[in-house]
Structures are given as C-alpha cells and as structure tokens.
Amino acid sequence: MKAHRKQRLILIGLMVIGAGLATFFALRSFNDNLMYFFSTTDVVEGKAPKDTLFRLGGLVIKGSLERPNDGMMVRFKLTDFSKEVTVEYTGILPDLFREGQGIVANGRLNPQGVFIAQEVLAKHDENYMPPEVKGSLKNQSQPAKGE
C-alpha cells in the first residue's frame, strides 16, 4: 500500500513540475512577442527600448516623404505635434499611406536614432485613426494653423 501511495505522490509531483514548466514557457513566449507602442515624443526623450522591436505611431509630416535612390527604400518623418522621428522603410508602402495621415510602424531604432520599420500600417479610411496614435496626439497640443 505504501509503494502505491509513493508512486502516486511522485506522479502528482511530476505533473505539478510539468504544469509549471508549461506555464513558464507560455509566459516567456508571450512576453517575447509583446510589442509596446511609443509616441515620437517618447522616442526622442529616450523612453523607447534600444534593442527590441516596438511600435511607433504618429502623423506623417507633409513634404517629408523622400525616396533617396531608385530602390524600394523610403524615408519620412513622423510627429505627434511635439517631436519628430525619422523613419526608414524598405518595401511597398500600403495603398492608404499618405502624408498628413496617421500610421503605426513596427521596427526598432538604429544607433543614429532613426526608426527602421519592418512593417508600416496605414489607417483604412479618412475617419479612422489607430487608437494608440489618437491617444498620443491628444496628449500633445496641436499647432495653430499657419505654423
């Protein structure tokens, strides 16, 4: 009877250890895939991480879009009406990408402080703005017309 009880305790112990390991790996995987949002002000003030992916949002400054060469690389500036961040992206921009409209980009900062985007997400109609961008823009004062 004691041998059967000991086997049961060992089995329960192994199940608890297995469940603990599964929880640990699930939480670690979740944390690795988590991508935080930062405004352009946060990035300029150094609040954004240096070596990890994050999301950057803001409005594309009119007249800032440039294509430095004949390739697929584009450079533009994002703002939250307070600070500006230069973004570089190599690829095809979404059809709805326009200067003066809100976007969210996924990527990381390079050592020079330029945001290297891996993906650019544009709003899908004229009334929609990503919630993160809308929130960061509300926190900043919009410049007066004519500035």
pLDDT digits (tens, 9 = 90+) for 43-88: 999 888 887 889 998 899 999 999 988 889 999 999 988 899 999 9
Q: For the segment 114-142, what is each residue's pLDDT rounded down to a tens digit?
A: 999 999 998 665 555 666 666 766 666 55
* Distance, CA of 130 to CA of 7 (rounded, Å): 56
Q: Superfamily assignment of 37-138 in CATH?
A: Nucleic acid-binding proteins (2.40.50.140)
Tokens of 77: 């500036």
Distances (CA, A) of 109 to 79, 81, 118: 16, 20, 11
pTM value?
0.68
Q: What is the mean pLDDT of the chain?
A: 84
Question: What proportion of the chain, given as a percentage, has pLDDT over 90?
Answer: 46
